[in-house]
Chain A
Amino acid sequence: EAQVTQNPRYLITVTGKKLTVTCSQNMNHEYMSWYRQDPGLGLRQIYYSMNVEVTDKGDVPEGYKVSRKEKRNFPLILESPSPNQTSLYFCASSLGGGLAGTYNEQFFGPGTRLTVL
């Protein structure tokens, strides 16, 4: 089944304890992305990757790191989490990356609910 998977689905942690949220897709998609969703602020893009080893900042990259060493995986790293990073996180992937002439339908993972105490 074609899908985007995220782990863990739920995580409660403490301030400063490094964590990684994994994201994997099995659709051979070039483009992958991370979003956070907060009440009243909607969904905002954190980082995206157009291809292996190519990443760029979205609108809210502060406090996050990403890497794209393989096409199928795009982990989100919080080196020193803080309470303001408590949020619902989504990973997504698409064949193309949004430019004209490419097919860019995004598919989303199930979400990871993170609480930082």
Chain B
Amino acid sequence: GIQVEQSPPDLILQEGANSTLRCNFSDSVNNLQWFHQNPWGQLINLFYIPSGTKQNGRLSATTVATERYSLLYISSSQTTDSGVYFCAVVREGTYKYIFGTGTRLKVLA
């Protein structure tokens, strides 16, 4: 099946720093989303981005479907950005969602 790998697995930042999270996938996909799971376990939609670039405040994302990766950029990080970031994909021709391994982010005040 399709493999979805995220890097880095863990990241510690000082408040105000910038970071780039990566999602690599091993097969063609029709769907890609980025989520933030906060410390209370809630899954929050960040971006629906099967291709192209989107921005939302301090966050932006880029998916290059032909090269099978997506990037999530966090600028001027805040302590509330802490949590786990997941990407999720749907392999082309299927209805099954596969989640990546996640990046655990801790932002220090």
A-to-B contact residues, CB < 8 Å: 31, 33, 35, 42-45, 48, 50, 56, 58-59, 88, 90, 97-100, 103-108, 110-111, 113
Contact = CB atoms under 8 A, between A and B. Distances in A.
A42 B86 contact: yes
Interface in B56-109: 86, 88, 90, 92-102
A31 B101 CA distance: 24
A88 B84 CA distance: 15
B90 A111 contact: no
Contact of A45 (B33, B48, B96, B102): B96
Contact of B97 (A98, A100, A107): A98
Contact of A99 (B1, B33, B45, B95): B95
Contact of A31 (B86, B95, B98, B100): B95
B62 to A, nearest CB: 17
Contacts of A100: 30, 92
Nearest to B32: A104
